[in-house]
Amino acid sequence: MSSSLAEDEHLIPYDIQGSLAHVQNLLRARVLTPEEAETLSRGLRTVYHQLESGSAKLLPDHEDVHMNVEQLLAKAVGPVAGKLHTARSRNDQVALDLRLWTRDATLSLARASVRLALALADQATTHVDTPLPGFTHLQPAQPVTLGHQLTAHAWRAVRDAERALQAFDRANVSPLGACALAGTSFPLEPALVAGLLGMDRAFENSLDAVSDRDFALEAAFAASVASTHLSGLSEELILWASPQYGWVTLPEAYTTGSSIMPQKRNPDALELARARAGRVQADLQAIFTITKGLPLAYNRDLQEAKAPLLHAVDTAVETTQVVAACIEGAEFHPAPMLAALQKGHLEATELADLLARTGTPFREAHHKVGRLVAEATRRGCMLRDLPPGVFAAQGVAVTSEVQRVLDPALAASAKTSPGGTAPERVAERLRDLRATLGRLDGEIQERACKTARALELLSGETKA
């Protein structure tokens, strides 16, 4: 029951990175001689390669990754391995491992979110002026463009990438040196460890350092929001891929056939994306519930927060990559989108706006157009097919401008307000979007350079 090996498989490289940095701190504090530090560092890298290659495994005799690494190190270098745990506790050790894992995982989430946003931007650029119905309450509302709709999802993915990078920054603080809860009497330099691992700073308070799991909550929250966005996007694509819509064909690699109905292709990947949002949200709630009401400092309850954190972010990363691939390979069909505009009187608002622009109070214009819509519905025709006398009865003259706005395929182009659906506005925002994605790429690379410092420890390229 007390074993955490199922989750600790994910923490192996991070545990060894932290130990390598700790060796350098012990060397600086003169707890280790240079020869001992070199022996321990060489032994830790040997253990890492053994575990990576599978020639050694985490054994259930030792309940966590920390004790397994220590036992393997003892086999590799002998009694000097016993000096490694000087001025360190499993409390600050596991907090460091989780922070190192979290920053890598959130960086992966940021990358995946940028990929999704770019895929959406590419499709939006192709369809910047493709009209289709926009919906509220799943009811046809007003004409928009496909470029506008896809760009809306892209901006959500941008925010997901930004949240992931913020979660990275929250995690990128070293707790090593806090020891069990009170710090240590050895002359350690926690900032040295932080620098060796590419972390932004060391902890401020030892009690907080070993008990803080805010970074786990924030990473799981970023994963939860991203998963929620993926669920909404997936729902739209699932609907659009149905024969009733016929607006998109999904890549065959991300659909499956029916076991009994040969004509069907099911959007299974997107359905799973929709379902996984619930599991990721549950992971976030689990971490909240586990960490509520805990007294300072470390409590074993925190071990149970590992699994939902690992699952939440890993699931969000994988799902984002799959949905991005679906978008990249999707084929959108403008013709049925255009045909759908002929149903539901989506041009009604544009006619009301036109009347308001020419002096009719909007509420009066709204009522007039509402009566025209009721008559068109009764007759089973579009507004533009009503006889001129019907318009005249409502005090509406059928001018060329009225005839133009009654074409729903043209209505989207009239929404020229900033951020609106007019093609020129969508093109503007796409340029902004691509600039934002370029900035995010730079921020991701900047943080990747920080994680690379810890990797250099494993390769032996970094010295204190």
Instruction: Report the half-sphere exposure of 460 (CA within 13 A, side-chain side).
Output: 12
Angle at CA of residue 235, ends 344 and 323, nearest 5°: 135
- What is the model's pLDDT at position 296? 96
In Å, what is the CA distance from 274 to each residue of 106, 139, 249, 268, 269? 21, 21, 18, 10, 9
Tokens 């599991």, residue? 279
Domain boundaries defined on the chain = 5-83, 90-176+207-334, 348-406
CA 436 to chain centre: 16
Express each pLDDT in 136-186 by its tens digit. 999 998 999 999 999 999 999 999 999 999 999 999 999 999 999 999 999
Express each pLDDT in 360-402 by its tens digit. 999 999 998 999 999 999 999 988 989 999 988 998 888 888 8
Second CATH level (architecture) for the domain 5-83: Orthogonal Bundle (1.10)
> Does 90-176+207-334 match 5-83 at the fold level?
no
Fold for domain 348-406?
Answer: Ribonucleotide Reductase Protein R1; domain 1 (1.10.40)
- What is the model's pLDDT at position 414? 86
CA 296 to chain centre: 31
Angle between helices 90-126 and 65-77 (to 10 degrees): 110
Instruction: Report the half-sphere exposure of 297 (CA within 13 A, side-chain side).
Output: 18
- What is the model's pLDDT at position 8? 87
Give Cβ neighbours of residue 38 (< 8 Å, ≥ 6 apart): none
Q: Which CATH number applies to 90-176+207-334: 3.40.50.300, 3.40.50.150, 1.20.59.10, 1.20.200.10?
A: 1.20.200.10
- What is the model's pLDDT at position 405? 86
Active site residue 113: no
Q: Which of these ranges, 52-56, 64-68, 171-175, 405-409, has the smallest mean pLDDT? A: 405-409
Active site residue 137: yes
- What is the model's pLDDT at position 454? 95
Give Cβ neighbours of residue 172 (< 8 Å, ≥ 6 apart): 99, 103, 198, 199, 200, 447, 450
pLDDT at 259 over 80: no
- What is the model's pLDDT at position 2? 67
- Please tell me which residue in 53, 137, 185, 259 is annotated as part of the active site: 137
- What is the model's pLDDT at position 354? 86
